Amino acid sequence: MREANPANNVPITTLVKSYYSQRASVPGTLLIAEANLVSPHAGGRPNTPGIWSQEQINAWKEIVTDVHAKGSFFFMQIRGMGRAGDAADLAAAGFDLVGPYPIPIQGKPVPRELTIPEIHAYVHEFADAAENAVACVGSDGIELHFANGYMVDQFIQDVSNQRTDEYGGSIDNRNRFAMEIVEAIVNRIGQERTAVRLSPWGTALDMGMAYPVPQFSKLIEDLRDKFPDLAYLHLVEPRLNDVEGHQVESNDVFRHIWAPRPLILAGGFTRESAIRRAEQQDVLIAFGRHFISNVGAIKLEHRVVLAPLTRFKANPTDNVPITTLVKTYYSQRASVPGTLLIAEATLVSPHGGGRPNTPGVWSDDQIISWKEIVADVHVQQSFFFMQIRAMGRSGDPAALAAAGFDLVGPSPIPLRGKPVPRELTTAEIHAYIRDFADAAENAVSRVGCDGIELHFANGYLVDQFIQNVTNQRTDEYGGSIDNRNRLALEIIEAVVHKIGQERAGVRLSPWSTFQEMRMADPVPQFSKLIQDLKDRYPNLAYLHLVEPRISGSDDAEHREEHLVDSNEVFRHIWGPRPLILAGGFTRESAIHKAEDENVLIAFGRHFISNPDLPVRLKYNIPLSKYDRSTFYVPGVKEGTKKGYIDYPFAAQPTVVEKL
């Protein structure tokens, strides 16, 4: 997590408190906080919290108090960055980039070698930070971050420490700094409140001794012998290294040295492997990515999401889903328990439509049909979010006119070759806000959906208001970044008031050119919108971003400008909250993205042709090919089953381990 003020390293209290409070909701849970800097010069990592100032202590105290109110426990991890710090950020604050020895991370500046007095000062700073965390904040204990290539790990390993004084040159000397820090902290807060994290096999930040067993065995033996009552030892499993040969790397040698004291293992565990390891070896299991990847109030079993896909399987006269057909379609794709399905875009009102054969959620008949469909998904132990939208200028003018409605939009700017939309009045805009809120309430309270996704993407009504290519208003709904975002935020406010934050997700497509969208520079507009979403609604179920290589219904993977277009800026603003990415992922790229960035991956085309897609991805089973010609075939006849519910399963669906 990186949710702290960049100027003073104070946690963003309301936001961080909500994050930890959610994860403390099961009483008796141990939370290990994100790594906190022990001092200003130990940092060089913007937006990461610290634990040296009174402001930082006050913020953490409020956060930890809330965790304790849930009946759970809080250990604060503390660290120094060493050569892994940000050299520019340190220089701006008047500090040097330092390390045990002038060996840089590849492509980074050479660190200055720490002097012995500076090393001693760091020992005191770790002790002060530990005392602040326990005595002032009220943490139940602290975890010393001696892992993952940060400062103390740099002293422990010979790849980053080639000193020839008492802090280098031998196993004991390289361990000296770590042992002195533990000694100083134990003198302040006691052994029972002190824990240590190590990553003997880690290769992050250019670490990784040729053979780490002697070095770490001696360190763990010394910890065991000198501090037998430490709270726990926390070991990172080898499989998180992303290198070949994990089958011969093992923490078992270290586990046997430490036994039978409390041990935490971390690293890519599934539910099944975690239970098995905990039962066989009497250890605790730390989860990171999956603790982040839960969506709102639901607990997913994996990270493969069904993307919202328009399929035109509703009655053209009343927008009621063809119940039997649609129920079968979603039931097939819910067959792996714990799957999140995001339904096709559903119209919020008759005048918000103009798209025959697409479903709605305003009438009793529509609600009854959807209720049967969603109930069947829940029988499969999966989850259902309904995407809701209004069409705006992208509606069908003839269908709207036949129903007595106008083609409308934020400004009279038409799609190429289409009629000019009428500009919405302020009163009509307010009516749309109510339509969205009513649709959300119908979906959750009456249909039984687990939540809704607001379709603010792909050139539909709300996206038309957000972007200046379609919005040239000069009133409170146009003319500036905040004004163009106003409708989106007012809809969210109304929806959250009806169903709560945890049941509302938002989809955006900053880079999409579908339906003649795409601002010249979408970053300022969407950055402000996402920042406002984060600040005002920190408990939203998720943010769903369409990747640049996808443009609405069309694949744009080969457009050169997408080499520089990126959602990274938006991902960093959104921070550690649940994030879904959609857009042309392969099995390999999806797994890589999910593991590296703590995100969920939405699949569209491949989920159409592979109803058991999570199983196929898990076991690398070949995928059935999709038939594009069947994607948008409307109708209610038997022939419309082709390409909809007739794709085969690879095998009987089973519970899939988390990807």
Judged against a pLDDT cut of 50, whether residue 240 lies above it is answered with no
- Residue 537 tokens, joined: 């609604």
Instruction: Note whether 21 and 124 are same-domain residues.
Output: yes
- The answer on pLDDT for 239 being more than 70 is no
pLDDT at 242 over 70: no
Instruction: Write down the pLDDT at residue 553.
Output: 46
Is 608 among the domain residues? Answer: yes
Phi–psi pair at 398, nearest 5 degrees = -65, -45
Three-state SS annotation for 206-263: HCCCCCCHHHHHHHHHHHHHHCCCCCEEEEECHHHHCCCCHHHCCCHHHHHHHCCCCE
> Does residue 4 sit within a domain?
no
Helix (H) or strand (E) holding 471: none
Share of the chain above pLDDT 70, in %: 88
Q: 191 burial class (0-12, 13-18, 19+ CB within 10 angstroms)?
A: middle
Query: 456 burial class (0-12, 13-18, 19+ CB within 10 angstroms)?
Result: buried
Please give the Cα distance from 98 to 81 (Å, whole number).
9
- Which pLDDT score, from 0 to 100, does residue 554 have? 44
Mean pLDDT taken over the chain? 88
The reply to whether 659 falls in a domain is: no
Q: Which residue has the higher pLDDT, 590 or 118?
A: 118
The pLDDT assigned to 657 comes to: 39
**Mean pLDDT score, 562-584:** 82
pLDDT score of 179 more than 90 = yes
Number of domains, the chain:
2
Arithmetic mean of pLDDT, 106-123: 96
Residues 6 or more apart whose Cβ sits within 8 Å of residue 494: 433, 434, 436, 437
**Structural domain boundaries enclosing 41:** 13-287
Do 542 and 609 lie in a common domain?
A: yes
Measured in whole angstroms, how far is the alpha carbon of residue 229 from the centre of its chain?
36
How far is residue 324's CA from residue 359's CA, in Å, rounded to a whole number?
14
Q: How far apart are the first and last CA of the chain?
A: 21
pLDDT digits (tens, 9 = 90+) for 435-458: 999 999 999 999 999 999 999 999
Residues 220, 353 share a domain: no
Do both 276 and 309 map to the same domain?
Answer: no
Same-domain status, 329 and 237? no
Q: pLDDT tens digits for 50-80?
A: 999 999 999 999 999 999 998 999 999 999 9
Do 205 and 341 reside in the same domain of the chain? no
Has residue 658 been placed in a domain?
Answer: no
Instruction: Clarify whether residues 99 and 155 are in a common domain.
Output: yes
Residue 652 lies in a domain: no
Q: What is the pLDDT of residues 493-523, one digit of tens each?
A: 999 999 999 999 999 999 988 988 899 999 9
Based on the fold, state whether residues 329 and 223 are members of the same structural domain: no
Comparing CA positions, the residue from 98, 226, 107, 207 lying closest to residue 158 is 207
647 part of a folded domain: no
User: Which 3 state secondary structure label does DSSP give 177?
Assistant: helix
Residue 289: its pLDDT value, please? 47
Does 656 map to a domain? no
* CA nearest to 109, candidates 130, 85, 135: 85
Same-domain status, 188 and 148: yes
- Look-up of token digits 């000019």: 420
Q: Which residue has the higher pLDDT, 356 or 406?
A: 406
204 and 276, same domain (yes or no): yes
What percentage of the chain carries pLDDT values higher than 90?
63
Are 254 and 392 found together in one domain? no
Q: What is the pLDDT averaged over residues 593-606?
A: 79
Instruction: Supply the pLDDT for residue 279.
Output: 58
Please report, for the domain that includes residue 260, its CATH number.
3.20.20.70
Higher pLDDT, 89 or 593: 89
For residue 470, give the H/E element and its range. Answer: none
pLDDT level of residue 120 (50, 70, 90 thresholds): very high
Residue 654 pLDDT exceeds 70: no
Q: Would you say residue 296 lies in a domain?
A: no
pLDDT at 185: 98
pLDDT at 390 over 80: yes
Q: In terms of domains, do 65 and 97 share one?
A: yes
Judged against a pLDDT cut of 90, whether residue 191 lies above it is answered with yes
pLDDT for the residue 272:
56
Give the CA distances from residue 86 to residues 11, 45, 93, 247, in Å, rounded to whole numbers and listed in that order: 19, 6, 11, 34
**pLDDT, tens digit, 9 for 90 and up, residues 608-641:** 888 888 888 888 888 888 888 888 778 655 456 8
Segment 264-311, tens digit of pLDDT: 987 665 555 555 655 555 566 655 544 445 676 677 888 889 988 888
- The answer, yes or no, to whether residue 409 has pLDDT greater than 60, is yes
CB 76 within 8 A of CB 60: yes
